[in-house]
Amino acid sequence: MSDICLSVRNLSKHYRGVKAVDGVSFDVMRGSITGLIGPNGSGKSTTIDCISGFTSADCGEWRVDGRVLTGTSAHQHSAAGLVRTFQNVRCYESMSVLENLRMAVVAKEGVGLWSAFLGSLRASAADEAARQHGLELLELIGLSAYAEAPSSVLSYGQRKLLSIASTMMSKPRLVILDEPVAGINPTMILRVEDAIRKLNASGVTILLCEHNMDLVMRLCDRIIVLANGQLLASGTVDEIQADKNVLEAYLGPDHMRPTS
C-alpha cells in the first residue's frame, strides 16, 4: 500500500463566478498530521466540504487509501473511513453528550435518523459497545461528568472537544478538522491539542485546517497553503516558514514563529 492516505487532484468548485477552489492538488501522507492553512476565504472549508462529500465538486478526483471517493455521498466517505468536523460545531442539542457520540456511529452505519430518535439506539449489543467506547472517549477528553447531560449545557470549547471525540467513535482512517480551536481559550486549546495528538497516536491520519499558527506549527508534519482558491505552497514546517510567497502573500514574518 502507498504511503499516501489522501490524494486530491485538480479539485475545483465555483460559486456563481467565485472561484472558491481552483484546480487544487495535494497529498496527505498516512499517519501524518498535515496542516491546511490560508487566509480567510482562501478555499479551505470548500475544499473540505468537497472531499468529505458534503458538497459536489465541479471537477477533480480524490482518493482515500487508493479508493476513489469522487462523487460519493458524505455517508459513503464516512464508511470509507474519512470523517470531518465542522467550522461551526454541530450538536444534537436535546440528546445527551453520550448519545451525541453514539450518533457518530449511526452516521457511519447509515442507520436512519428517525429510528435513532425513536429510541432503537438503546437496544442492541452494538449500542452497548458504542456506549462503552463513548464513555472511554469522554474520559479521554475530560468530559465524563457530562455523559448524561444534554449537549446544550456544553460550552463552545467543550463542544469542539466533543466534535473531535465524535470522529473517534467510527474508528476512522482520516479525520479532517475544520478550525478545531477557533474561538476557544488557551487552556481548552491545550486540551484539544492533546485530543488531536491522541487521535493521531492511535494511527489516524489528520488534516488540520486552522488559523492558530502556533498550534499548526507545533502539531503538523507538513503544511498545505491555499490562497485565492489555489495551492500557494506545500512542504514541511521549516519549508513553509521559510517560503517567501507564504510570508509575503499570507502570514507575514511576525506570525510564523511559534511563541511556545
Ligand X SMILES: Nc1ncnc2c1ncn2[C@@H]1O[C@H](COP(=O)(O)OP(=O)(O)OP(=O)(O)O)[C@@H](O)[C@H]1O
Task: Pick the binder of ligand X from 12, 32, 34, 46 (CB under 6 A).
Answer: 46
85 interacts with Mg ion by CB under 5 A: no
205 interacts with Mg ion by CB under 5 A: no
Compute the distance between CA of residue 45 and CA of residue 168 in angstroms, rounded to an integer. 21
230 interacts with ligand X by CB under 6 A: no
In this complex, which beta carbon is closest to ligand X, that of residue 66 or of residue 183? 183
Question: Given the C-alpha cell 472561484, which residue does it identify?
Answer: 19
Site string for Mg ion, 28-67 (x = CB under 5 A): ----------------xx----------------------
In angstroms, give the least distance from the CB of 64 to ligand X.
20
CB 50 within 8 A of CB 84: no
Closest CA to 33 of 243, 165, 180, 226: 180
Task: Pick the binder of ligand X from 2, 10, 18, 75 (CB under 6 A).
Answer: 18
Q: What share of the chain is helix, strand, coil (3-state, %, to 5)?
A: 45, 25, 30
Task: Pick the binder of ligand X from 6, 11, 20, 213 (CB under 6 A).
Answer: 20
List the alpha helices (DSSP H) in 17-110. 44-51, 74-79, 97-109
Q: Which residues contact 128 (CB under 8 A, 6 or more apart)?
A: none
In angstroms, give the least distance from the CB of 199 to ligand X.
22
Compute the distance between CA of residue 5 and CA of residue 63 in angstroms, rounded to an integer. 8
In angstroms, give the least distance from the CB of 153 to ligand X.
27
Q: How many residues bind ligand X (CB under 6 A)?
A: 12
Burial class of 123 by CB neighbour count within 10 A (0 to 12, 13 to 18, 19+): exposed
Compute the distance between CA of residue 90 and CA of residue 71 in angstroms, rounded to an integer. 24
Work out what residue 20 binds among Mg ion, ligand X, none; the CB cut-off runs from 5 to 8 Å by kind. ligand X
144 interacts with ligand X by CB under 6 A: no
Site stretch for ligand X (CB under 6 A), options 26-34, 42-50, 192-200, 233-241: 42-50
Residue nearest to Mg ion (CB): 45
Question: Which chain residues interact with ligand X by CB under 6 A?
Answer: 15, 18, 20, 38, 40-46, 87
Question: Which chain residues interact with Mg ion by CB under 5 A?
Answer: 44-45, 87
